[in-house]
Amino acid sequence: MNIEEQIRDCEICVKQIKQYDPDPFYVNHFFKEFINSVSNTYDGIFEEANRDFGLFISEKISLEKFHEKAIKKNDQNAIKFFQWFLQKYEYEHGNPYPNFIKKICQCKIKSERIPEIKIMIRASDRYEDDINQQIKVSLSNEKLRSKEELDIEVKRQLPVFLEIINHKRNEKNEPKVGKNQINVSTFLDIENHKDIEIAYAAEIYIPVMKRLVEESRRKIKELTIWK
C-alpha cells in the first residue's frame, strides 16, 4: 500500500467535501472515503514496519496482527515500535478535532456507518463559545432537493440565530455577526463531540496524519538500523 497515495486521496476527499458542502448525501460519501483512506494510511505504516522488521506477515496487515507476530517472534524492537506508536497515536489525538476523527474511524470499523449528518449555520469567523444552529430541510434520496429551498430555510431561521449569537458575543465584547457573515455547513455528533464541522475537522486532521507517518518512519529506521 502506498502511503503517499492514501494521503493524496484524503486531500482530494477534503476538496470534494468542501465542494459539495452542505449536501449531506455527497458529504457523507466523500467523508467515508476520507475515513477509509485514513485507516489505510495507518495500515500502510504497519506494512512498512512489517517489511523493515522482517516479521513476514503475509495476510492483510493490521496493528493487532503486527503486535501478535512481534510477540510470537519475540522481536523486541518491533514490540518497542508498537508501544511507541500507541503512545504517539494517543498523544496526537488528544485534542478535540483529531479525537473526533479517531472516534469516527472506530465507529466505521464497528458498524460500517457514521452518525447522521446535520446541516447547520455558523458564523464565518469562529469564536470559542459561538453557537451553531441546525437547519431542517426536506431531502430527496438523502440529497438536498434544491439550493433555493435551503436558502429559504436559512433566511427564515437567521434572525433568531443572529440574535442569540450576538447576545453571547456582546457579553464578551466580541465582534457582532452580520447576516452576510454566516456559513452553511455539515456537522456531526459522536460521543462527547458535539456539532463538529466535517470539512474543518477533516482538513486539519491531514497534518496530524502526515506527522504520524513521518515520525513512524523515523522510529522504524532508528529501531532497525542495527538489525
Beta strands in the chain (DSSP E): 118-123, 133-134, 139-140, 143-144, 182-190, 193-197
Question: What Rg, from alpha-carbon coordinates, does the chain have?
Answer: 21
- Whether the pLDDT of residue 125 is over 60: the answer is yes
pLDDT score for 33:
97
d(CA 35, CA 32) in angstroms, rounded, equals 5
Name every residue whose Cβ is closer than 8 Å to that of residue 61 and which is 6 or more positions away in sequence: 43, 46, 47, 50
* Under 8 Å between Cβ of 208 and 92: yes
pLDDT score for 42:
96
Per-residue pLDDT of 126-145, as tens digits, reads 888 899 999 989 888 889 99
Give which of 156, 100, 160, 111 is closest to 131, Cα–Cα.
160
Beta strands in 19-154 (DSSP E): 118-123, 133-134, 139-140, 143-144
pTM of the model: 0.93
d(CA 49, CA 75) in angstroms, rounded, equals 12
Q: How many helices (H) and strands (E) does the chain have?
A: 7, 6
Beta bridge partners of 197: 187
pLDDT score for 226:
65
Per-residue pLDDT of 80-96, as tens digits, reads 999 999 999 999 999 99
- Cα–Cα distances (Å) from 28 to 65, 116, 187, in that order, read 30, 9, 10
